[in-house]
Structure 1
């Protein structure tokens, strides 16, 4: 089985992914980390030097390469991965796959992301919390269509990673 964790940046996909994979004794793959290994630079640098279109094409290729591996895995997707091209359709058609949406409110995401926005290329230009909150509200509205197609939806607000993992495993 391949379990795909999706949701907006800051929802906890990587942290929960590590813990979930340990709980299930599955391999863990962070899609963004794989891209950084291949490109030998960070995501922000890829966005700045090559642009979002280049990044999305690379993301699609790396995702497909991971999917071809015949092993159980927990895969942490980038926040935009299910929203671009045919990524979500391809994941959902894949035999033995489950998608999990780690759902966080705009307030939770704003609180989590404001202090680290400098490291997040999509939001690094935003200067104030109200600007960030407005941006997140709009982005979440646009992405909700994709996120809500997940097989499992787990609210992450005010929950620690262990509680989230327990909720996911109970629903698998």
Structure 2
């Protein structure tokens, strides 16, 4: 089975995804890491050199490749992945999707403590601009996220909560 974790940047998809994969004995794939290895560039470099539209095309191709290459995996998607090229329909057709629904205030706190240079959509923005961007982005993406098979409301997620949600008691 493929399990896709979706949600905003900073929701904990990578951290929780790695833990869940380890617990289930599945492979773990961080889609952004997969793209970076495949392209030989960081996500920030792709955004800077080729733009967001090109990145989204690479992201879709990477999503298809990951699905083709894996049968038992937990896949941490990028925050925008479900919202482009009917990716949410594709994800739901390939496995189980879980929306990690974290309050915006928590996302802002988590991201403020991270290296923003690694997040091209937030780099070079003031605190106020980041807050506005995250508010608007979540409002735009939430309808896509809400198409997930499951929703886990946070901010404090555990592997046990995910296992229960997936009926892996």
Q: CA deviation at 1:70?
A: 4.7
Q: What is the TM-score with the length of structure 2 in the denominator? A: 0.93
TM (norm. structure 1) is 0.91
Could you tell me which residue of structure 2 aligns to residue 33 of structure 1?
Answer: 33
Match of 1:126 in 2: 125
Matches within 5 A, 1:27-106: 27-94=27-94, 97-106=95-104
Answering whether residue 168 of structure 2 is matched by residue 170 of structure 1, we say no
**For structure 2, which runs of at least 5 residues remain unmatched after alignment?**
none
> In structure 2, how many angstroms separate the alpha carbons of the residues matched to 1:149 and 1:121?
26
- RMSD, aligned CA: 1.2
> In the aligned structure 2, how far is the partner of 1:55 from the partner of 1:131?
22
Distance in 1 (alpha carbons) for counterparts of 2:35 and 2:108: 25
Over 3 Å counting, the alpha-carbon distance change for 1:28 and 1:70 in structure 2 is closer
Cα distance between partner residues in 2 of 1:3 and 1:40: 26
Counterparts of 2:137 and 2:62, CA distance in 1: 24
Q: 1:70 to 1:105 in 2, by over 3 A?
A: closer
The alignment partner of 2:110 has SS state of: helix
Large movers: runs of 4+ above 4 Å = none
Distance 1:51 1:104 in 2: 28
Instruction: Could you tell me which runs of 5 or more consecutive residues in structure 1 were left unpaired when the two chains were aligned.
Output: none
Q: Which residue of 2 aligns with 1:110?
A: 108
* Alpha-carbon distance, 1:164 to partner: 2.1
Shift of 1:69: 2.6
Compute the displacement of 1:41 (Å). Answer: 1.5
Greater Cα offset, 147-156 or 47-56: 147-156
SS of match in other structure, 1:29? strand
